[in-house]
Structure 1
Amino acid sequence: EQSTATGQNAQATADGATASGAGSQATGEQSTATGQNAQATGNNATASGANSKATADGATASGAGSQATGEQSTATGQNAQATGNNATASGANSKATADGATASGAGSQATGEQSTATGQNAQATGNNATASGANSKATADGATASGAGSQATGEQSTATGMNAKATAKGATANGADSQATGENSTVVG
């Protein structure tokens, strides 16, 4: 199939590849690189935005400086990074670095496998952890933090409410500013 390169030093070297923009490179089959120095090196990869990179098969990077390096990964937003397979990073400076991880919100980070971080600067670092709310943190496996500033640091712990904290295994803190510090403890209010 034909490839198309448009722009100074643009390169489209694989079947069906399209490179558009100065220095852009589309080297994967059916890949598309759009923007200055954009790189789409995976098959069926799409890189859109200056200095964006989609290096794995089926990867999509959209936004200046965005990087999608995991297979079937998606990075959307300036400097967003999706490095895990099937990972999704959405928002400026968001990072989804583990397989199946989802980071949504500016500065959010999902680094545990199958973890989800939603909200500005939310962090889900445990496997299967969920952090929902600005500055929320779920750092242990299976932990859930829901609410701005909430923290679930114990394994299988749950913190629900603004600034709620569940710090022990199986602990549940339910309500703004509540703290559950004992193993399998429950605090309401």
Structure 2
Amino acid sequence: MRDLHEITLTVNGREHTLAVEPRRLLVDVLREDLGLPGTHIGCEHGVCGTCTVLLDGASIRSCSTLAVQVDGRSVRTVESLASGPDLHPLQEEFWDKQGLQCGYCTPGMLMRAVEILEQEPDPTPEQVREEIASNLCRCTGYQYIVEAVLAAAPRLRGGQQWDPTAGTAATVPTEAKA
């Protein structure tokens, strides 16, 4: 007979009560039990960052976090970003700036970028590079990801867009915004 523990967690704003084995990983609960496959499984050792989710607003590796550890807490996954058919500004910028290449690291990178921009709404390129270094990407060389995060930042603040040629954010007339 398996030893199951009842946990309650809020995932993307919805509360869930589940019976889980004490050794069950959060990534497996998200993907298999809750049907949220956006969180990818990469190295399974907490090194690569593809499984990054936000736990009470802070990024964690869901492949090395036990589900019982998040009892009573709030988890955000990549599925929380889009609103129906409308992509989140970060998702749009990853698409536009080609920051997603093969796409395997993208969910973890997006969630890490959300955390970065929530902590620092106006980051410098150096800050973004330093902060995303915790997540591995084998395709982009990180430059496109940095550009995507910097382009999304002013959109999330409102009124400005990142100009990669000037290295600054500039106010863009309302009619020029898409």
Q: Give me the TM-score of the superposition, normalised by structure 1.
A: 0.29
Larger strand proportion, structure 1 or 2? Answer: 1
Larger helix proportion, structure 1 or 2? Answer: 2
Higher relative contact order (CA 8 A, sep 6+): 2
Q: Give me the TM-score of the superposition, normalised by structure 2.
A: 0.30
